[in-house]
Structure 1
Amino acid sequence: MENLALIDSFSEFKDDKLIDRVTLMAILEDVFRNALKKKYGSDDNFDIIINPDKGDMEIWRNRVVVADGEVEDSNSEISITEARKIEPDFEVGEEVSEEVKLIQLGRRAILALRQNLISKIHEHDNTNLYKQFKDLIGDIYTAEVHHVRPKAVILVDDEGNEIVLPKEKQIPSDFFRKGDNVRGIIEAVELKGNKPQIIMSRTSELFLEKLFEQEIPEVADGLINVKKVVRIPGEKAKVAVDSYDDRIDPVGACVGMKGSRIHGIVRELGNENIDVINYTTNTQLFISRALSPAKVSSIKLDETNHRADVFLKLEEVSKAIGRGGHNIKLAGLLTGYELDVIREGSPAEEEDVELSEFSDEIEAWVIAEFAKIGLDTARSILKQDVADLARRTDLEEETILDVMRILKDEFED
């Protein structure tokens, strides 16, 4: 078998790889030099001539002619008798170049060559893949669901690269089927052995920021700047935006007419509720905006400890806290302040009792259900409509009526 045929047999699988013929030939030379070292002890006296256009290569062994009986190193020296079998006019001291056919290395060596070549090409592919996706970290990427596992969804892109979307990086409402297209950001590229593992995320704040860049032209053009993003994935997010152009309303531009612009982002994130807020360096005003839709009466700042007492009318407290406490939690993350809600009102209204005080009469899970929607005092519940509470919680109307009866009895007493 000639060298070309052997090389073709080695590289028959290259069409499935992202590797050009020139690179392949360079890898082949490295592999063959290692094989020559193993067989002859050294490759110093071998010339490997590569022709990448034809996909061929030649191996030439160079030896010095010595007198018969004086060969000390058979790899670098050849006797005059053996040399004259190649060319009859060779003389002692001259150099002989003899082509080595790959088949001369032996069947076992050729199989080892093939395996080594496959390993080198995989190593080359993995290095290229690692570099490619390292440059894509923080960018939005789309891939197709290949199969769904309990702890991760395995995606494949158009080039056949495998991408992992771990369960903890998925939005809680995400549900994927084989063949679905999935968007997320490339969050990390980790080496597992020699193979890179590409990690996608849909829960990162950066994913939401990049969606703003992708969906809102003014953000993409730099006319609107996304200052900060905080999220509880799948539940609620707050995005602070700013513009250096006074003619632009950054919130209005991001939301769009009747929410037209932000609707696509909300849908992508599993109907995550997104509050877009005008950024300001005025801390009190920023905290007040961050707590929307609640209307703040006043704020007392402790800038040293990054704490703030927020004074609210009783009817605004549940709005400030939000469902499951999400609103106040995100407002704190957005502003960088720990927020304490202080209720204010008329003297009669101020006579309130924490719901936890009724733990001997009301079951803990019922109290927890009210707390989820920001109702943690007796009066805050008594002011609500029973049917509305049943809709907003997992409680039956009968249970709510029982709770209200217990609370009313407290104030009548």
Structure 2
Amino acid sequence: MSQELIRIVENIARDKNIDKESIFADLEAALVSAARKAFSTSEETEIEVFIDRDNGNITAYKDGEKLDVKRFGRIAAQTAKQVMIQKLKADERESIFAEYVKRKGEAVNGSIARFEGGTMVIDLSNRVEAIMPKSEQIGGETHHVGERLRCMILDVREVSSQVRIILSRTHPDFIKRLFELEVPEVTEGIIEIKALAREAGYRTKIAVESHDDKVDAVGACVGVRGSRIRNIVDELSGEKIDIVRWSDSSQTLIANALKPAEVSEIAICFELGRATVVVTEDQLSLAIGKHGQNVRLAARLTSWDIDILTPEEYNAGVERLAECVTSIEGVDDSFVDQLLALGIISVLDLEEVGSEPLIEELGVDEDTAVKAVELAENVAKEIASEKKQAEDILEQEQARTEDEDEDEDTEPGLGIDLPQ
């Protein structure tokens, strides 16, 4: 029996991933409870139980006097069993928590065990189940019980004496984990993922940089004939992934991030954290993207607010700015050029920036700077008024068109009483 106890402890330790010493300690605590039950002792009575870790022999003492463990009886054995089960469950829970809390952010594979409402329950191993809430699932994907699924460990919590492992397929870091799995150069640190922006299920933009001149960052991520990126896209059920080259130059990075659109010009205003990007008419829809997705992701990838303008819109803004500031006595076109160099390309920008940067950055005297901003504010009000009038006219035109359409759909009465 003693050697069998050793084998049982070893099997439990291996199957449940619990430290053997912890199991022996639980057994001893359970046998103490059993001894109290068997000998009807109070809590004040000192009961000690020792299990030899080498041969499994059990010795017990009550107030220093050795006890016969064979006299514990059936009720005491049942008590020991219940205590042991509770302690083993607690140990297993602690073991699972300790293991998975260290694995937060890792990509894991599991099989779908069942669905509980919109939540997916995923079996990670024979002893561990995790959940993927609806919010962490990629919209539009359909899955079935038994399907193998790759996901990321988002969080690990202890809730009501249970370990709750939360998985995600929508988190941006899940994309990083997939690139680490598919692109060895990313795992090895040769290629670094510098920035990432994602709208799960639709599109991801990822900026990469190579720390080895011999390795092309974009080419390595794409793979031979697109093999590597295809594997990632397939894993994400067709989500589009744009891989762009990282640059420390904000202008270059913004131009790269807006691809596949070709950019004509970029004006950066550090004061506003804004980049004004000029694209030709034929590139406008590409730059903005469907429902504004391309420019939105580019803005998040680069950490710049991005405004997209056509050359006509850009030139109109610059002309109005020039008319505004050159009306000040002593100010010429060189001041306009200085404003453009600061990324101020319209009276709206000038109004928002204020006079302080003009004084500090351009060395303009305070009176001129304040006057320029005041004039910009007045012109900005005129622009807002013109915009409001244009919107009102458009609404009136739409209302009139709708009324005319209703009149055409209504058949006029003849006003004649027909004979019976």
Structure 1, unaligned stretches of length 5 or more? 64-96, 364-413
Change (3 A) 1:179 1:343: same
Change (3 A) 1:55 1:175: farther
Q: CA separation in 2, counterparts of 1:241 and 1:138?
A: 20
- Partner residue of 1:94? none
CA offsets, 1:353-393, max 9 Å, x none?
99x86754899xxxxxxxxxxxxxxxxxxxxxxxxxxxxxx
Q: Secondary structure at the match of 1:310?
A: strand
* Contact 1:6–1:102 (Cα < 8 Å) also in 2: no
* Contact 2:9–2:20 (Cα < 8 Å) also in 1: no
- Partner residue of 1:142? 109
Q: CA separation in 2, counterparts of 1:101 and 1:208?
A: 59
Which is further off, 153-162 or 16-25?
16-25
Q: Does 1:197 align with 2:164?
A: yes
* Contact 2:30–2:83 (Cα < 8 Å) also in 1: yes
* Contact 1:47–1:59 (Cα < 8 Å) also in 2: yes
Q: Secondary structure at the match of 1:27?
A: helix
Higher helix share: 2
Q: CA separation in 1, counterparts of 2:108 and 2:200?
A: 18
- Partner residue of 2:26? 27
Change (3 A) 1:238 1:116: same
Q: Does 1:239 align with 2:186?
A: no
Q: Does 1:151 align with 2:118?
A: yes
Q: Residue 208 of structure 1 is aligned with which of 175, 180, 187?
A: 175
Q: Does 1:57 align with 2:63?
A: no
Change (3 A) 1:219 1:346: closer
Q: Residue 101 of structure 1 is aligned with which of 34, 56, 69?
A: 69
CA offsets, 1:82-138, max 9 Å, x none?
xxxxxxxxxxxxxxx33243644x654543332222111111000010010011111
Mapping of 1:232-381 within 5 angstroms? 232-345=199-312, 360=399
Change (3 A) 1:41 1:153: same
CA offsets, 1:230-285, max 9 Å, x none?
11011000000001222222111211233222000011011111000110111111
1:344 maps to amino acid? P
CA offsets, 1:42-100, max 9 Å, x none?
5764442212444442212346xxxxxxxxxxxxxxxxxxxxxxxxxxxxxxxxx3324
Change (3 A) 1:110 1:43: farther
2:229 maps to amino acid? I
Q: CA separation in 2, counterparts of 1:254 and 1:49?
A: 59
Q: CA separation in 1, counterparts of 2:101 and 2:70?
A: 39
* Contact 1:279–1:286 (Cα < 8 Å) also in 2: yes
Change (3 A) 1:13 1:41: farther
Q: CA separation in 2, counterparts of 1:56 and 1:18?
A: 24
Q: CA separation in 2, counterparts of 1:333 and 1:31?
A: 57
- Partner residue of 2:85? 118
Q: Does 1:177 align with 2:144?
A: yes
Q: Secondary structure at the match of 2:241?
A: strand
How many residues of Structure 1 are paired with residues of Structure 2 in the alignment? Answer: 324
Compute the displacement of 1:308 (Å). 1.6
Q: Secondary structure at the match of 1:157?
A: strand
Q: CA separation in 2, counterparts of 1:45 and 1:163?
A: 43
* Contact 1:230–1:237 (Cα < 8 Å) also in 2: yes
* Contact 1:102–1:110 (Cα < 8 Å) also in 2: no
Change (3 A) 1:362 1:37: farther
Q: CA separation in 1, counterparts of 2:62 and 2:3?
A: 20
Q: CA separation in 2, counterparts of 1:315 and 1:195?
A: 57
- Partner residue of 1:383? none
Q: Secondary structure at the match of 2:279?
A: strand
TM-score (norm 1): 0.70
Q: CA separation in 2, counterparts of 1:362 and 1:153?
A: 50
| Aligned-residue RMSD, C-alpha | 3.4
CA offsets, 1:6-56, max 9 Å, x none?
989x98995864446543221011233355567423576444221244444
1:24 maps to amino acid? I
Q: Secondary structure at the match of 1:118?
A: helix
1:186 maps to amino acid? I
Q: CA separation in 2, counterparts of 1:99 and 1:242?
A: 71
Aligned sequence identity (%): 30
